[in-house]
Amino acid sequence: MRVKYEVMLNEFQRVLEKYGFNRQDAHEAAEIFAQNSLAGVYSHGLNRFPRVIDYLKKGEIDPSARAECTMSFGAMERWDGHRGFGPLNARLAMARAIELAKKSGIGLVALGNNNHWMRGGSYGWQAADAGMIGICWSNTCPNMPAWGAKDRRIGNNPLVMAIPRSDGQHVVIDCALSQFSYGSWSCAV
C-alpha cells in the first residue's frame, strides 16, 4: 500500500498540531517526517513518528521551545535547545552556522539540551544547498555493545559530511558507528 506524500504530510501535521505544535512548526516538522520517508529513510520518518508522539505525551519534547544562543565567540556559538523538537532546532542551528560561515569563512554551532535530530544528513544537505561544506555529528545514548561485550556501553553516533557541487548533485555522507542506525532494520539477500 502506498500513501501519497501530501496525505502523509497533512496527517503528520494534523497530529502534531493536536499535541501542541503551532501550525507553522507542525507543517515544518511534518515535512521532515514525510521527506525522510519519501527518501526511503523510514527509520527517521514514518517509523519514528509514534515515538515522537510518545515523547510529546510524556513531556520530553516541548513543542513550543526554540533553540537560542547562550554563548558567542566570533564564528563559534553554543546554543541551548530547551528540549524542543530536535529537527527544528537543528535546522535553526545549521542556518546560523551557514550565516556565520558567510560572514567569517567558518561557522560552528554547538547545540545541546536538544531532542533527537532525526536524519542527520538533512543538515548536510542544508549546508550543501547553501554552497557550504558541512560537517555534523551528534552524541547518542549507549545503545550498542563494544565488540565482544554483552552490555550497551557506546552510542551509535552519527557523522555527516557534505560537499556542495555546482550542479546540485552534492556529495553527502550520512553514517554511524554501526551497520545500521538505531530504529532502523535491514534485510540481507
**Digit-coded pLDDT (tens) for 47-90:** 999 999 999 999 999 999 999 999 999 999 999 999 999 999 99
Greater pLDDT, 24 or 175? 24
Q: Provide the residue type at 172 as one letter.
A: V
52 shares its domain with 74 = no
Tell me the pLDDT band of 182, cut-offs 50, 70 and 90.
low
8 A C-beta contact, residue 170 and residue 128: yes
The pLDDT value recorded for residue 153 is: 84
- Per the domain annotation, does 74 fall within a domain? yes
- Per the domain annotation, does 36 fall within a domain? yes
Tell me the pLDDT band of 186, cut-offs 50, 70 and 90.
very low
Q: Which of 38, 58, 78 is the last residue of a domain?
A: 58
118 shares its domain with 149 = yes
52 shares its domain with 129 = no
77 shares its domain with 136 = yes
50 shares its domain with 101 = no
Region 125-133: mean pLDDT is: 97
8 A C-beta contact, residue 66 and residue 93: no
- Per the domain annotation, does 180 fall within a domain? no
- Per the domain annotation, does 183 fall within a domain? no
Q: H-type helices in the chain, by residue range?
A: 5-18, 23-38, 49-58, 86-104, 121-129
- Per the domain annotation, does 63 fall within a domain? no
72 shares its domain with 54 = no
168 shares its domain with 79 = yes
The pLDDT value recorded for residue 130 is: 98
CA 23 to CA 100: how far, in whole Å?
Answer: 29
Q: Which of 58, 82, 98 is the last residue of a domain?
A: 58
Pick from 19, 112, 122, 16: nearest CA to 67? 112
pLDDT tens-digit map of 160-171 = 999 999 999 999
Region 19-26: mean pLDDT is: 98
Give the three cell numbers for residue 128: 550543501
Check pLDDT > 70 for residue 189.
no
Check pLDDT > 60 for residue 142.
yes
CA 165 to CA 10: how far, in whole Å?
Answer: 33
- Per the domain annotation, does 47 fall within a domain? yes
Q: Which domain holds residue 45?
A: 5-58
List active site positions.
Answer: 44
121 shares its domain with 43 = no
Q: What Rg do the C-alpha atoms of the chain give, in angstroms? A: 17
Count structural domains, the chain: 2
What sign for the dihedral angle of Cα 139, 48, 26, 19? negative
79 shares its domain with 156 = yes
47 shares its domain with 73 = no
Query: In whole angstroms, what separates CA 59 from the centre of its chain?
Result: 19
- Per the domain annotation, does 165 fall within a domain? yes
52 shares its domain with 93 = no
Report percent pLDDT > 90 for the chain. Answer: 75
8 A C-beta contact, residue 93 and residue 82: no
Q: Give the domain CATH number at 36.
A: 1.10.1530.10
Please state which of the ranges 11-15, 47-51, 75-79, 147-151 shows the lowest mean pLDDT: 147-151
Q: Give the domain CATH number at 162.
A: 3.30.1370.60
8 A C-beta contact, residue 121 and residue 160: yes
pLDDT tens-digit map of 92-111 = 999 999 999 999 999 999 99
Tell me the pLDDT band of 181, cut-offs 50, 70 and 90.
low
Give the three cell numbers for residue 17: 498540531
105 shares its domain with 50 = no
The pLDDT value recorded for residue 122 is: 94
Give the three cell numbers for residue 8: 502523509
